[in-house]
Structure 1
């Protein structure tokens, strides 16, 4: 009787579950600094098609671009549109808040990048790093975390041994749930409608954030006289809008967009998603660290969702590499606690700020509207306070990991 084939066994330092916009940057950063890393990604990388725009776009803040440049990803991004100015208005009010990047230097506040382009850039860079192995498409059947390490069993029978597993597997993180880590959060009873608009006149790199009664209406600059819209509506209203035919959907969109950029044409698909907030009760467990949406999720009111995840990436990568260089275990309780202490309070503060802003600007009470408008106008005339808010938009506030400052690990 022939012997059963022994499954292949792979040994690595770090196992990252999820090869998306948080998982791959972390894997690249850590592997490029000298550790062995394996990424498990359930989707086929070949599904990322270069010439098919699916409507998904991300705002990459200045600090996040520093990270991507430092780990060699930014050079692979084929197209990015700079955000030079930010203009914030409250409904029909003539008072506004204006951020001009020249008040802080030559660098823009950030860039708008199509998600397909970011994915392509990450995969291209990952292929250049010898100690990084991306296994995709791949599914695991079990991940066993013990005091002395991690063992993952793949659906094809292969075994992976690691010192640390990183959950980059999204809002419904199976790793978070299997670790017994709970979360707190709530629904905003709002939905974000997303689409891309081509317009007659150039946007000149100006991002618009208009606070309307149901929620913010963001107009974010893209290449080729296009803008990405993140349009917030009450959930029931959003569902009705999404069911409209093209002509009526365009009419509703144009009514909110205005005429300042001339004739408008919707390009690419339109889609919507529910707006919620969540925060994991802990960002770490034995031999486990959470990053990105596995750890937290926020309202898109400030466009900082991906940037918050990349701050996790930069902090965790620094903790892992600093421990490894000292000959210490990168998956130890001490290392993980340092990561959690660094990131959890910062994340909680940003979630609280965005939650408060959403509630403030969706309150349709005359006295509150007046206070909001006067507040915007006052900040516009207070250079120091305005400068702080502009630095916040650039992602350069707080105790920054080296990668976010543009320094290598």
Structure 2
């Protein structure tokens, strides 16, 4: 009996090749495939398994516009558990050891006729939804862990995968993050800014309810944010369930900016000492707190690519831009890239046009680069303004906060920014009025 040689992996022809299966790349792929565009997704890392612990402390603030996109991509309804709505935002200015200034800014979604400014979605929940949707969609091919050598020409792109397959595509999208190899290979430069601060990310359980309100406290060493999470069930043996049974039934995510020289000190603290430092910055309005899940720390910097496109190439998310987390808009800006690019691709596909044509890429850059630059400039200005502890500047910004709180038109402008509805975004996928799923 003669042994047969194993069959070689089949080559593929797709409309779009997405490099990177994270939240931005994965959402783009699912949005396109939902609308009938053929997609290949390649990621060098294995997708995080669904068997990860039920809670690890990381979460995303998903703006209202981004929720519309996740719904259009078929992801929102697949999220395990209910995302927590952000129905209020309180902005204050303070210093450690002092009470927060009474001159504050408060946004209330109901008073502005909105359901919520956004929703807090646990990082694992979004990964679970992405994994399920990526596996279920016809016309979507996934390769992870896998690497690809990409060659782009005017007539199309070819990728040679590490398993021997060849993939031909009309467009390649880099969703690889800030160290994008495709951006570097295209010779696209990027301006960078190091803030010399670290972001400390964790979650806390607390005694009193947050009532859907987020806190942004501006402190001399950097902003401190408390973001509401859904309450924990006391059932089970997870850290959050244990905390709930012991009188800490409510939870919030913490995003804390600290000087890079001091961040390792806080990261090394025992939980009780770390919890006291959280309360020093947040105040006691949520009662006693308990650290749950892990702690993460990463350096904060800004990045802006000099252009978002090249021949048969588009950059999205952190491959194109990165901003300070002071306004919690990093993921949302990336999802606005996804909405704009997906809408252009779907329209071109429906019209029988080339989804990687120069005109399409020019339209994408024209839509997205100004908004990304505006967000980078705004977050940078906020970081500089609120990181200044000089008395005249501190007094002026507190008066400014109070003034905005008393001017409805200005409050409405900032509220719509928080919800992600801004100029330069695609109306269809963001507003829910655009191209419907293919099936």
Give the TM-score of the pair, scaled to structure 1.
Answer: 0.96
- The 1:345/1:46 distance shift into structure 2, 3 A limit, reads closer
Q: Distance in 1 between matches of 2:10 and 2:75?
A: 31
Note the alpha carbon deviations across 1:82-113, whole angstroms, 9 max, x for none: 00000000013111000000122241000000
Decide which of 88, 101, 106 is 1:98's aligned counterpart: 106
Decide which of 167, 186, 190 is 1:183's aligned counterpart: 190
Which range is displaced more, 332-341 or 102-111? Answer: 102-111
Q: Distance in 1 between matches of 2:190 and 2:130?
A: 29
Which range is displaced more, 244-253 or 362-371? Answer: 244-253
Q: Distance in 2 between matches of 1:350 and 1:145?
A: 30
Which range is displaced more, 123-132 or 69-78? Answer: 123-132
Q: Distance in 2 between matches of 1:122 and 1:47?
A: 11
Give the superposition deviation at 1:328. 1.5
**Residue of structure 2 in register with 1:31 after alignment:** 33
Which range is displaced more, 272-281 or 105-114? Answer: 105-114
Note the alpha carbon deviations across 1:183-210, whole angstroms, 9 max, x for none: 0011000101111000001000000000
SS at 1:172 equivalent: coil
Give the superposition deviation at 1:5. 7.3
**Map 1:227-266 → 2, pairs under 5 A:** 227-266=252-291
Q: Distance in 1 between matches of 2:285 and 2:9?
A: 63
Q: Distance in 2 between matches of 1:125 and 1:253?
A: 37
Decide which of 82, 85, 91 is 1:82's aligned counterpart: 85
Which range is displaced more, 106-115 or 127-136? Answer: 127-136
Decide which of 15, 18, 21 is 1:16's aligned counterpart: 18
Counterpart contact for 2:190–2:305, Cα < 8 Å: yes
Note the alpha carbon deviations across 1:179-236, whole angstroms, 9 max, x for none: 1111001100010111100000100000000001101000000011100000111100
- Say whether 1:118 aligns with 2:121: no
SS at 1:289 equivalent: strand
- Say whether 1:310 aligns with 2:335: yes
Counterpart contact for 2:217–2:282, Cα < 8 Å: no
SS at 2:261 equivalent: helix
Q: Distance in 2 between matches of 1:275 and 1:172?
A: 14
Give the root-mean-square deviation of aligned CA atoms: 1.6
Which range is displaced more, 158-167 or 244-253? Answer: 244-253
**Residue of structure 2 in register with 1:282 after alignment:** 307
Which range is displaced more, 357-366 or 238-247? Answer: 238-247
Counterpart contact for 1:50–1:117, Cα < 8 Å: no
**Residue of structure 2 in register with 1:340 after alignment:** 365
Aligned length in residues: 407
Note the alpha carbon deviations across 1:54-106, whole angstroms, 9 max, x for none: 32210000010011112221101123100000000001311100000012224
SS at 1:99 equivalent: strand
Counterpart contact for 1:70–1:407, Cα < 8 Å: no
Note the alpha carbon deviations across 1:99-158, whole angstroms, 9 max, x for none: 000122241000000111001112222233211111222122x11001111111111111
Which range is displaced more, 326-335 or 110-119? Answer: 326-335
**Residue of structure 2 in register with 1:404 after alignment:** 430
Which range is displaced more, 34-43 or 86-95? Answer: 34-43
Give the superposition deviation at 1:50. 4.8
Give the superposition deviation at 1:319. 1.0
- Say whether 1:159 aligns with 2:156: no
Counterpart contact for 1:149–1:161, Cα < 8 Å: yes
SS at 1:265 equivalent: strand
Give the TM-score of the pair, scaled to structure 2.
Answer: 0.90
Counterpart contact for 1:88–1:210, Cα < 8 Å: yes
SS at 2:262 equivalent: helix
